[in-house]
Amino acid sequence: MDQVTASLIGTCIATIIPLLFVCFIIKEKGSKYILLYFCWGTLAGLLAFGFNNLLTGTQGQTERVTTAIAPVVEEFCKGLPILLFLIKKKKSIITVLIVYCAFASGIGFSIQESIYYFSQTGGTAGDIATLAVRTMTTALMHGISTAVIGLGLMQLQKQGHILLPVIAGLFALGTGIHALFNLLLPTNLAVIAALMPVGLYFAGMVFLNKAKGDEYEA
């Protein structure tokens, strides 16, 4: 086993097991679910790393995987458990909790990815600064691109007759945000790429605050 893979597996073990202990003592279901989805996101980072490694085995495929294939693989790994919210009682309603859980999954994933890229550096002060910037941009993007799937399901949950196309469309939207970020980042438009997840984050906060207000009124 190479050093990078061992590091990612170690991160899963060191993160997930302690958080599961925390989950067992938390009584409030919403907080428990958020932590569990964060744990899943950490594991999803390891799974996506394995899948992407298999796909980059061919000579010259690295760039293609980064811009075209990796966003699909990663969004699928991060977002698949969100569909569990659709398994519900007849009259239950999906609340903003689905968005928080989706966001937590994306953030958990981003930790694994950040560790992977940091492990490829020399650990200098410049590398640490780059890591800090990454956690405020790329890591946030991973949370946002998964959160939009949860947000869409919350808004369109009553459209049962078109549920499958809705799910496919939401995963495509999350993948599109992810792919656009990857495409812009190495270009002269990198500033736009960096600001995009920040803007979406604050827009989402405004929307969720309104959604919570509507829930209380109902």
Q: How far is residue 131's CA from residue 210's CA, in Å, rounded to a whole number?
A: 33
For residue range 51-82, list pLDDT tens digits in order.
888 776 654 555 555 666 888 999 999 999 99
pLDDT tens profile 152-208? 999 888 777 788 888 999 999 999 999 999 889 888 988 999 899 999 999 988 888
**Mean pLDDT across the stretch 31-38?**
96
Counted domains in the chain: 1
Report pLDDT digits (tens) over 76-128. Answer: 999 999 999 988 655 577 889 999 999 999 999 999 999 888 888 888 999 99
Band of pLDDT at residue 210, cut at 50, 70 and 90 = confident
In this prediction the pTM is: 0.89
Q: Vertex 116, ends 114 and 120: CA angle to 5°?
A: 110
Q: How high is the pLDDT of residue 182?
A: 87
Q: Is residue 32 over pLDDT 50?
A: yes
Task: State the residue range of the domain holding 12.
Answer: 3-217
| pLDDT at 59 (0 to 100) | 47
Classify the C-alpha dihedral 143-68-64-181 as positive or negative. negative
Q: What is the pLDDT of residues 195-208, one digit of tens each?
A: 999 999 999 888 88
Given a contact cutoff of 8 angstroms between Cβ atoms, the answer to whether 35 and 131 are in contact is: no
Q: At what angle do helices 29-55 and 70-79 cross, to 10 degrees?
A: 150
Label residue 163 exposed, middle or buried (CB < 10 Å: 0-12, 13-18, 19+): middle
Q: What is the DSSP string of 48-60?
A: HHHHHHHHT-STT
pLDDT of amino acid 217: 47
